[in-house]
Every structure is written in C-alpha cells, then in structure tokens.
Structure 1
Amino acid sequence: MAKRLTCPYCYETFTARKILFRCTTRPSPTRKRCEAIRDEVLLERLGQRRDGGPVFAADGRRLSATCAGCDGVTNYRICPVCHSTLPVQFGMVDNRLIAMVGARESGKTVFMTVLLHELMNRVGERFRVSLMGADDATMVRFGKEYQDKLYDQGQMLIGTRSAGAQVNNQVDPLVFRFGVTRRRWFGDTAQHTVLSFFDTAGEDFNSRESVELNTRYLANADGIILILDPLQLPGAAELAAPGTLMPRTDDVDTPANVLARVSNLLLARDGGGRRGKATTPIAVVFAKMDALLHHLDPGSPLRAHPPRGDRFDIADSLDVHHEVRGLLRQWDGVTLDQMLENNHARYRYFGVSALGRTPTSDGRVAATGIQPYRVTDPLLWLLSEFRAVPRTRRRG
C-alpha cells in the first residue's frame, strides 16, 4: 500500500501520486502561455482569494510536470485537496505536523513565537540547525504578526481566533523547513524536515462540540505540545511570586478538562493504541515557571539550564520530567498525572518560561526584556523522538 502523506496546510491525507501541479503562466519554449485564473478551491477551503495558473494532474511523485495547455514545465506541486503550494521536496523529506494546544490564558502564542525565534537564532547555532519559512505567507505572517510585535514592540500577543471563527473552520498553520547538519565519518550531511505548527484557540477545547472542529488536525499530528498554565492549579497559584500577573479564572477551562478532551480524541483515533493508550507523543508543558522558581530546591533541575552540546540530553530531560511529576502533588495536579499515565504511552513533562519575567499589567513585555528559559526543550524532545535531531544515550 502506498504511503499516505499529510498536507501541512489542511491536514488532509493522500498518496504522492495524487499531488497536482500548477502552471507557472510564464511563456513556454513554444511561446504559448496560460492565463492566471481565480483558484476556487483555495477560496472555498482556506478563504484565500488568489489568482494562479491552471491546475492539472500528473504523476505527483515527480518534482516537475509539463502543462498540456502551454507546453511549459512547472515545479509548482500543490495539495490535491486545498490547492496550497507544497514545500520543496514534499514527500521526499520527513513531514512532521506539530499540534500546539492548550486552554485559554496558557500563553500558547507567546510560547510558539519565542520557541521559533530561539530555533532561528541561539539554539539553532548550538544544534547546528536552521529554521526557515517554507512559503512566503509563513515568512510574512511570522515576522509581522508574531516576532516583530513581541520582540521589537514589546507587545503581548493577542489570543488565537477560535477555529469556529476561521473560514470554513480552517486553522491557518505556520509551515517551516527545519534542517540539521549531521556529522558522519564520511563527511557532514544535511537532513531536512517539514514542520507545520497550528496554534488552536483555547475556546476550541471548552466543549466536545468545539473540539471536533480540530479533530482532523489533532488526528493527523505526529506530535502534540500541550501548554498548561500551572497558575491555573490552586496549589501552584498560592506559591506565585509577588507581582505575578495571574490568569483569568472566569470562563476558562481547567487544565484537567483540556487534557481529558485531547486524550479522548486521540484514544478514539488510535482505536485502543498500544496497551489501550494513545501512541502520539505528547509534550506536556507547564509555562510561566518564572513565577514558581523561587519555591524550588537549589538543586532542582528546573533551576538549571539544559547541558550544552549539539545533542538533546535525555538524562536532563528525564530529570525535569520527574521533578515536574513531583511538583504536581504540591500544585493539586495529581489528576493530570493519573490521566496521562492511564491514557498516553509516550509523554514527557517540561517546565518553561517564554518571557523569563511576568508581563506588565498593561500587556507589555517586562523592562528586562525577553529571557526565555528551556523553551525549546519540548520541541527538541519530539524531534529527537522522530530522529530528526541527535540525542544522548540514557544513563546506565
């Protein structure tokens, strides 16, 4: 059976042979030229009003095809379902779809922005990795709507629109091309992975009906980053440092309810999975840890930065995992741990801070600036699980 691929824009699945092509509309060697027309599929599926060359079928396993209308060769390969232009070498390199979910007020959008910024800069240099937008829309959107507002203007980012507010309930993901240089005995080699992130709104996990709007996205995700705010747990809220900007409590679902709905959806998809558990790896991220670090023991792994080096350190990650699991007892979060243990075969706890300091009451970054802490750990763990980044061996 042919391998099924998943579009990083609409998350529908298909085989490589089904990939379509779009004419370039440039003059061909025979001086013929196709006219640009409105793509009604793009408009209906993603709400994008865009003109382009005619779409035609050919062997999608190839990188190029000849348009019968003008005899011109094109390498514009497009999704057969939504007509988005697919990334270069799609289907020929790893394609990893990362779902980023969590309750409202958990800081998902800020976390995602700082995570990607760190991968493009400081952490990217450490791991010898590169991250670049896979399309013009991602490059422009990430720059103007995310990175510039947070880093240049110091503005906290507005929460994600609910999927119900999107065109035809579509989520507009950010798609990147992730590259890592691997050292081999015969010379360095480059390995590339397509990463697709969607930041789904908290409201989409406040009821079973709204969760179902995201079923396709979660069901086809290779990994999930679940962002939880520890300050929404009663035991942790009591420990918050003075001056911490606390999350709203009205009309905000609990971390346990959000996890329960995600777990139910994944269990239904897996049909029982491994030992009756969901098999999709899930990184459970407790954000805003800067508000709680003062209560931790001096030797806590959460008070240390991850070890240096160009490999994901498994031992350090497991130390953090066990530390967070112990803290859940203090935070009145034992229910979360029991749910994960009983329903998920592959999960890992993380404690991070995207900003390093609580924001101001008027929604701006603190005067000390952005000082991220362990913010890339969850994604690096997922990528190490996919063998997209190297990792150290386990202890013992």
Structure 2
Amino acid sequence: MLGSLFGKTTTACPYCYQQLDVAKVAFRCSGRGAPGRPACEEVTDLKLRRVFNDATPVMPAITQRGAVGSPTDANGEPLDVLGRSSATCGSCGGESGVRMCPECHSILPRSLDNDSPLFGLVGVRNSGKTVLLSVLHKELVRNVARRFDASIDTPGGSSGLARDLAQFEADMSGEQGSLPRQTPATGGQKKQPAVYEWKYVNKGKTSATIFSFYDSAGEDVSQQGEAMKQQYLGESSGVILLLDPFAFPENLSRAKERGVGTGANQDTPEGALNGITYMLQTSKKVKRNKRIKTPIAVVISKIDAFFDQVPANHPLRQSSSTDAVFDEAESKTIHDHVAAMVTRWGGDGLLRKLEQEYENFRLFGVSALGAEPEYLSARVNERGVLPLRVADPLLWLMADRNFIQKSDG
C-alpha cells in the first residue's frame, strides 16, 4: 500500500473530507446477530441524515450505548465504538468488520489507507464540469481500467454522485442526447462525492488506492468567500481546474457567434484560479514567500471548438495512448501548445499566476463530447459522444504520486 511509503497517520474521509485515522474508525452492524440473539434491523442513521441529508434505512452504528451515563456526543447521541478492523455490536452480539467514517457514517472502502488521494474537480460556470465527470466516470471503469489492467469501480455502489454521473452519461449517449443541467450552488452544504477504488496486481500482490471527485457549482469557488466553504479543496491531494475557453477575453466574439452562454455573471478563468489559490494557501498554511505544493491540472474544456488552432497531427487532436504508462513527453508537448493558445486568448495573466503561486502545474486540453454540441438545445452532436483525452489530467496526478508509471517517450 502506498501509505507505507509516506508514513502518514491520518487521511481524509473520501466522502465528507474530515480528517480520519484508519486505526480508529467506527463500525456498522453486519446484521448477523450472535447465536440465540435477534438480529438488528435497519434504521435511519442520524449522522448520514445530518451530513448528507440521506435518510435511507441502514444497519445501525455500533455505539457505546449501555448503562445510564454512557458517553454521548455534542448532539446527545451515543459515541461510536472505535477500532481498527472490527467491533462487537452491543445490541445483537454479532461481530462486524464493516468500517465507516466516525464523522459522516459513510461506509469506508476496504483498501482505504492513510495515503489514499482525494482529487477535487473545480470548474467555472459553463465549463462543462458535470459533462466531463459523467464521461470520465465511464472512461475510468472501462477504457482506463482496461489500459492499466486494473479494476476500477465505485465501492459504495451506484449511489450519490456516482449514480447521477452514470445516468447523465446514459442520457447523453441515448437517442435524445440530452446534456445535464448546470450543477446548483451548494452554499456550503456537503454533497456525497463519487468515490472510486483502483485495484491492480503488482508482483503477485493486490495493490489499491481510493480517490474521489466532488462536483461543486462554478459559483462555489469563483469568489474567495464561497471557495472557503469548499472543505474538499483544503483536503485534496491534487486539484483539477476546468476552464471554459469561451470565457477568455479574445474568445467572447466566437462564443457569441455560436450562441454559447457567457453572460454578465460568467466567471473569468483568473477569478476561479484566484479563489482556489486563496483557499489552498489558507488551508495548507502556505507562507507568503512560498508556492503551493498541491499539484494542479489546469484543463481547457471544449477544445474541439478550437481545433482550427491545432494542427491535425498534433497529439492534442489524437486519442490517448493505450500503453499502461503516462506519456510525460507527450503531455509536455500538449502543455506547451495549450499555453500558447491561452496566451493568444488573452490569458497570459493566468499563466503568470500559475508560475508564481504553484510549484507543480500542467495544462491540458480535453473534449468530453468529441465535437461541439447543439448549444441552444443542449444536445450532443449527431455523431454521438466521442471523448478525447478526458482522463489525462487524472492520470497525470496519479503519475505524480507514482501510482502509475511515467514514460518520457
């Protein structure tokens, strides 16, 4: 496990992003009572309801409930029994190894350790973030898993954001080709992220890591005050910032020609970066004369709308490699070309900000759909969904953590 390489004592819960020690987790009853004792029944978990507004009946938490005077938390609820691998339910007497987060009571993936990465996907309004996540969800569990001979799935099952993303992708690939609506602002209210477990066999042993994506509205991060409410950013191991190419100054006329919405409230690329930068500097306690160490992948979405500025044989217009490595040389070639495009679009200030504030950043160009959609009707191009390089930013972050190999070509 990667945790042994870094020696961290805590990680963050992949669901609520609160700090978590995997040696001191809570447990949920397995539903199998001890011989001669009745099994527990499903109930509404008060923590799940309070944190995620999820009232779905589940097996009860194993708590220190017992005699009068048993300890309770700030909400008057019995304290959880904490441990590393298992606990005995005081109600039914059954042994359970179903681990869960003490803060939100989400079931923890079995392979979660103290170095499991959390990646935050952030995007300005109209950047196509939900579309990208929906397509990336399918790419991960199919093409990326095949490419790296891995098993990539959602350990929590088809629920929460993972369920929504699968439905959005099905809608886009369906007969109507409907694009998902914009993500509503959360106002700081927690939402369940999409959590993924990546497993592969390394030298005869199964290795695994957990990563999660959180889908916030663009307006949640474009202003410093709102960005500070996004706790997942402060706990993230890497950030993917998705920018709308039509929002750059020199592309506004092209947006108008195509009927792309860039109203007065459209967030600027630099505004989004400023909000994220402030949040990371504050949460990571970055000194004034230091740069942020958290790697950031800056992604230009809808790159298909600007293929006239990319040579036909350029890697940016070609499908990603099928080799089980991240092609570092190719990625740098794409980075350089995207940087030149951003400069041409009037985004040179954004590039300077990245150079001044971040130790490690990379530019990407992706297309979730493969061709421009029908903007006014919010429908996929008649060619269907043909994604281009949507997994590259994530794979760069994974390669940066040495979870997958890099190749200089």
The TM-score normalised by the length of structure 2 is 0.87
CA distance in 1, matches of 2:280, 2:33: 49
Question: Structure 1 residues 152-161 or 243-252, which shifts more?
Answer: 243-252
**Deviation for aligned residue 1:381:** 0.4
Aligned residue identity for 1:176: Y
**Cα 1:43–1:371 shift into 2, 3 Å:** same
Q: Which residue of 1 aligns with 2:191?
A: 171
1:61 to 84, 88, 99: 84
1:105 to 126, 133, 136: 126
**Deviation for aligned residue 1:72:** 0.5
CA distance in 1, matches of 2:146, 2:22: 33
2:344 to 326, 330, 337: 330
1:225 to 218, 221, 240: 240
**Cα 1:275–1:209 shift into 2, 3 Å:** closer
1:74 to 96, 99, 122: 96
1:132 to 150, 153, 159: 153
Instruction: Give SS of 1:87's match.
Output: coil
Query: How many residues of Structure 1 are paired with residues of Structure 2 in the alignment?
Result: 383
**Deviation for aligned residue 1:366:** 0.8
CA distance in 2, matches of 1:113, 1:83: 26
Residues 292 and 357, structure 2, Cα contact 8 Å, conserved in 1: yes
**Deviation for aligned residue 1:66:** 1.7
CA distance in 1, matches of 2:246, 2:225: 27
Instruction: Give SS of 1:18's match.
Output: coil
Q: Which runs of 5+ in 1 are unaligned?
A: none
| Pairs within 5 Å for 1:307-386 | 307-360=321-374, 361-386=376-401
**Cα 1:296–1:25 shift into 2, 3 Å:** closer
**Deviation for aligned residue 1:262:** 0.3
**Deviation for aligned residue 1:88:** 1.9
CA distance in 1, matches of 2:365, 2:118: 22
Question: Structure 1 residues 9-18 or 222-231, which shifts more?
Answer: 9-18
**Cα 1:273–1:345 shift into 2, 3 Å:** farther
After superposition, give the CA deviation of every residue in 1:243-275 in whole Å (9 maximum; x if it has no partner). 745232231111110101101111122222696
**Cα 1:87–1:273 shift into 2, 3 Å:** farther
Q: Which residue of 2 aligns with 1:287?
A: 301
| Pairs within 5 Å for 1:71-220 | 71-91=93-113, 94-136=115-157, 137-138=159-160, 141-142=163-164, 145-152=167-174, 153-164=176-187, 169-182=189-202, 184=203, 187=204, 189-214=205-230, 216-220=231-235
Q: Which runs of 5+ in 2 are unaligned?
A: 1-6, 64-79
After superposition, give the CA deviation of every residue in 1:12-38 in whole Å (9 maximum; x if it has no partner). 002223311111233322434334433
Instruction: Give SS of 2:279's match.
Output: helix
Residues 247 and 267, structure 2, Cα contact 8 Å, conserved in 1: no
CA distance in 2, matches of 1:209, 1:2: 30
**Cα 1:181–1:230 shift into 2, 3 Å:** farther
**Cα 1:123–1:260 shift into 2, 3 Å:** same
Instruction: Give SS of 1:155's match.
Output: coil
CA distance in 2, matches of 1:333, 1:373: 23
Q: CA RMSD in A?
A: 2.4
**Cα 1:234–1:143 shift into 2, 3 Å:** closer
After superposition, give the CA deviation of every residue in 1:113-139 in whole Å (9 maximum; x if it has no partner). 111211222232122233211113258
Aligned residue identity for 1:126: R
Counterpart check, 1:389 vs 2:404: yes
Residues 103 and 203, structure 1, Cα contact 8 Å, conserved in 2: yes
**Cα 1:308–1:131 shift into 2, 3 Å:** closer
Q: Which residue of 2 aligns with 1:16?
A: 22
After superposition, give the CA deviation of every residue in 1:130-185 in whole Å (9 maximum; x if it has no partner). 32111132587146532222222521011112111xxx711221111122344x4x
CA distance in 1, matches of 2:278, 2:314: 33
**Deviation for aligned residue 1:322:** 1.2
Aligned residue identity for 1:351: G
Aligned residue identity for 1:207: Q
